């Protein structure tokens, strides 16, 4: 049994203090008032550019980028803590997408644009997939790329392209692409990005010859951060639900005393605890140097758990609120809508379970 699964935090001492400082920073900047989130829903770009710049100034975008490359130089333990708090606050800013791009720009040595991204002055997003529910790079260099979160606010697009035996990285500015957006259930959007007509080998500016390994690592780290964001949403909606169960009365009794509701709440709490164990164990493994298939397997275990549990807990919380939980005016439903968007992002539960079994199959002793 892992330390996390046994109820012992995977980080301690100075590291635990560093992670708690990240949490405090996030709570202070993001706050707890969901009125901001409601105001931004179904608008474009759908997030607060000023707040994204503040995130950059706080070092969040480059949290896991090395100090040599201009980042903060922290680890995945801090990154998942930050993503968890962003999920708790339902922050619509594309923090995970920008962090993914920062990882690629650092690998490419594109220092000027990386500096702008880390400062929150540029919104650089990566268009890498052309179909849903995949971790595979798009097969075409010229075809449209889809499912780019909050793409309407991008100033630059990173465009990885399979060239020969490697993956080259191209950069396109906003005026070199056409972006069409489609609203998601939570009020954000996903963008489909198509390069405008170009000449030469690949669209935009060629900025790196082979970032294949960096892309694989960046996608895994983004998947784990998304799992952590789901965890934050689960904990926030569950805390909201517990408070409701303690105060709402029916038939002259507090509804939290009803055994059937206690059972459902206990099941939800178990799902939250198991997800936390999986996410924190994966972050600790990456920080301890796990690479290759070992890293991919443990990330897939965490993302599969979070994607499945995120929906189960969100649905349970809405149901435990009764009719009011289904109304758009009540905040618990916002967490369910966010879970509906994040659960399939960067691979859903089924995809990650399949990958985990392929990389770490069960064996009989």
If one counts every other C-beta atom within 10 angstroms of the C-beta of residue 8, the result is: 10
Please check whether residue 66 lies inside any domain of the structure. no
Please check whether residue 206 lies inside any domain of the structure. no
3-state helix, strand, coil in the chain (%, to 5): 55, 15, 30
Please check whether residue 262 lies inside any domain of the structure. yes
Q: Please, are residues 129 and 147 in contact by the beta-carbon 8 Å criterion? A: yes
Low-confidence ranges of the chain (pLDDT < 70): 1-9, 198-202, 248-252, 254-260, 362-365
Model pLDDT, residue 329: 87
CATH at 230: 1.20.140.10
Model pLDDT, residue 210: 95
Please check whether residue 163 lies inside any domain of the structure. no
If one counts every other C-beta atom within 10 angstroms of the C-beta of residue 85, the result is: 23
- Domain containing 261 equals 213-359
Please check whether residue 109 lies inside any domain of the structure. no
Model pLDDT, residue 290: 95
Using only C-alpha atoms, the chain has a radius of gyration, in whole angstroms, of 20
Model pLDDT, residue 9: 63
Sheet holding 166-173, edge to edge: 124-126, 156-163, 166-173, 205-208
Please check whether residue 244 lies inside any domain of the structure. yes
Model pLDDT, residue 2: 38
44 contact partners, CB below 8 Å, separation of at least 6: 152, 153, 181, 189
Please check whether residue 133 lies inside any domain of the structure. no
Model pLDDT, residue 52: 98
Structural domains in the chain (count)? 1
pTM: 0.93
Model pLDDT, residue 51: 98
Please check whether residue 275 lies inside any domain of the structure. yes
Q: Exposure of 268 by Cβ count < 10 A (0-12 exposed, 13-18 middle, 19+ buried)? A: buried
């Amino acid at each position: 049994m892992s330390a996390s699964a046994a109820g012992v935090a995977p980080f301690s001492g100075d590291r635990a203090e560093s992670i708690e400082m990240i949490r405090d920073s996030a709570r202070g900047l993001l706050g707890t008032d969901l009125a901001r989130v409601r105001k931004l829903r179904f608008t474009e770009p759908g997030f607060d550019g000023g707040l994204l710049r503040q995130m950059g100034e706080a070092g969040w975008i480059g949290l896991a980028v090395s100090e040599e490359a201009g980042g903060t130089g922290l680890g995945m333990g801090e990154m998942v803590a930050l993503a968890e708090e962003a999920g708790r606050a339902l922050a619509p800013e594309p923090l995970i997408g920008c962090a993914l791009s920062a990882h690629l720009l650092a690998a490419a040595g594109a220092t000027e644009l990386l500096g702008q991204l880390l400062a929150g002055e540029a919104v650089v997003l990566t268009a890498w997939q052309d179909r849903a529910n995949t971790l595979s790079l798009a097969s075409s260099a010229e075809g449209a790329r889809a499912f780019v979160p909050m793409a309407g606010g991008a100033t630059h697009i990173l465009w990885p392209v399979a060239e020969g035996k490697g993956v080259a990285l191209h950069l396109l500015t906003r005026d070199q692409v056409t972006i069409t957006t489609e609203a998601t259930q939570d009020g954000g959007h996903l963008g489909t990005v198509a390069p405008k007509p170009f000449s030469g080998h690949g669209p935009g500016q060629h900025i790196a010859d082979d970032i294949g390994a960096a892309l694989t690592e960046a996608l895994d780290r983004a998947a784990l951060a998304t799992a952590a964001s789901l965890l934050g949403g689960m904990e926030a909606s569950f805390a909201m639900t517990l408070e409701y169960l303690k105060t709402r009365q029916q038939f002259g009794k507090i509804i939290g005393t009803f055994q059937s509701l206690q059972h459902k709440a206990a099941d939800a709490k178990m799902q939250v605890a198991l997800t936390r164990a999986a996410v924190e164990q994966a972050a600790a493994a990456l920080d301890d140097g796990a690479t290759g298939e070992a890293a991919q397997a443990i990330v897939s275990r965490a993302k599969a758990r979070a994607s499945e549990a995120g929906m189960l807990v969100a649905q349970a919380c809405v149901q435990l609120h009764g009719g009011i939980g289904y109304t758009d005016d009540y905040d618990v439903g916002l967490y369910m809508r966010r879970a509906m968007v994040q659960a399939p992002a960067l691979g859903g539960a089924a995809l990650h379970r399949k990958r985990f079994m392929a990389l770490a199959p069960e064996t009989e002793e």
